[in-house]
Amino acid sequence: MDQSFYTDREQTAVKHRILERYLSAFVPIVGAWAADISYIDCLAGPWQSMDPQFRDTSFGTAIDVLRATARVLSDRARYPRMRCLFVERDASAFAKLSKFCESVRDIHVVPKNWDFVQHVSDVVNFVKDESDSFPFIFIDPKGWEQLDAKVIAPILRLNPGEVLVTFMTSWIVRFLSVPEKRFDRIFGSDLPRLVQLRGEEQEEELVKCYSDLIRRAGNYKFVCSLPVMKPSQDAFHFHMIYGTRHVRGVEVFKETEKSVVPFMHETRAMAQHRRRFENSGQFSLLGPDAEYKEKRFTQFRQRKLAAAKKHLEDILMASKEVLYDDAWATAMQYPTIMEEDLGDWLKEWKQRGLLEITNQAAGRKLARKGQKQFLRWRKS
C-alpha cells in the first residue's frame, strides 16, 4: 500500500488495510475447500483515486489480494475459481471501473453499471451461477441510502457467505433527526429512541442497533465492528461492521483488527504531523509519534472493556457453566477486545476464587478454544 496515494484520506487507507488483511487470510482458508470464491463490491467507485493503476481503491486492493492468494493456494495444489462482481451506478466512475476491468486478464471480473439496491436479485444470481460459491460481500456506501437491511437481506442471507459494511456514523449522526432523510427505513420503530440520544452514546448505540439488524437479516451467528477515526479530528468517521456464521471468521477479523489499529494510529500521527507543518511552515524537532494526540479511541476501548467484562460476568453468574469457546466468541464481538483481555479477566476471577476452569492441562494457566474447557462460576 503506497501511502502517498492516500494523502488527506487516511481513513480510506485504514479501510483498505482492513479489506486487504482480512481477504489475505480469508481466501486461503476458504480456498482450501471451496471450489469457487466470489468477491462482490456493491458500490465500487472509484472515488478520489490518486493512483493511475487504481491500487488505492477497494476493487484494486481486492484484485491484488486475489492474485497473491491464488499463488499461495496453487503452492498447496488448490485452484478455486475466483470471480469478481464490481457494481457502480455513477456513469463517470463506471467508465473508469470498466476500463480497469478490461485490463484484468487472470481473474474473471464482471463490471456492472447498476444501481445496487435495484439489482439485489442480480447480485444474488451472480453468486448462485456457481452452485458451490462462497461469496464475500463488500458494501461501502458514501452515505446511508443503501444500508436498509430489509432491501439487502437477500444478499446477506447467502449461505455460505460473509459481509463487510461501511457504516458512516459521522454522516448518519449529522442527519439522523432530519425527517426527509428517512432513517426510519433503516431503524424502524427504534428511530425515535436513537434520536433522543446524544454524543458518544448515540453513535455507539447506532452501531449496536445496525449490527443487530445485519445479524438478524443475514442470520449471522457473529457480528463484529471496528471504528475508524478521522485523520485530523479526535472522532470516528465510520465503523466497519462484519458478519459471519463461523467462529474462524471472528478469529481472522480479530487478527485483522489487532494489526489495523496500530496502523490507523500511525497514519493519523503522520497526517497530524504533515498538517502542523503545512499550517506553520516549520519542521518540528519531535517525530509524529511524540506529538500524536488521541483520546476518543482510548476512551472507547475502556468503555468496551468494561461492557464486555460485565456482560461475560453476568453470563457466568447466570449459568452453571459456560464453554470457553462460547465465552471467547461473546467477548470478541466487542470492538477492540482481544483474547489477551479475556485472559486477564479469567486470571483475575481465578485469583479471587470466583472462577474454575475445567479440563485445564497441567502447566497451562489459561483456557484454549477447541479443548472442551468450561468456565464455572463459584458463588461468592
Q: What is the pLDDT of residues 177-196, one digit of tens each?
A: 999 999 999 999 999 999 99
* pLDDT exceeds 70 at position 57: yes
Average pLDDT in the chain: 94
Closest to 260 measured CA to CA, from 7, 92, 9, 10 = 10
Confidence of residue 359 (pLDDT cuts 50, 70, 90): confident
Residue 380's pLDDT is 63
Which cell numbers in the block locate residue 80?
A: 478455486
Cβ–Cβ < 8 Å for 164, 136 = yes
What's the mean pLDDT in 148-161? 96
Helix locations, 226-292, DSSP H: 247-280, 288-291
Q: What is the C-alpha to C-alpha distance for residues 243 and 162, in angstroms, rounded to an integer? A: 6
What's the mean pLDDT in 351-368? 83
Residue 283's pLDDT is 66
Summarize pLDDT for 164-178 with one digit per residue, the tens.
999 999 999 999 999
Summarize pLDDT for 64-116 with one digit per residue, the tens.
999 999 999 999 999 999 999 999 999 999 999 999 999 999 999 999 999 99
**Which is higher by pLDDT, 250 or 378?**
250
Specify the DSSP element, H or E, that contains 244.
strand 236-244
> 362 by DSSP, 3-state: which?
coil
Which cell numbers in the block locate residue 166?
A: 461501511
> 86 by DSSP, 3-state: which?
strand
Which domains does the chain carry?
A: 3-271 (3.40.50.150), 295-377 (1.10.10)
Count CB neighbours of 305 within 10 A.
Answer: 17
Summarize pLDDT for 105-133 with one digit per residue, the tens.
999 999 999 999 999 999 999 999 998 99
- Kindly state the DSSP code that residue 363 receives in the 8-state scheme: T
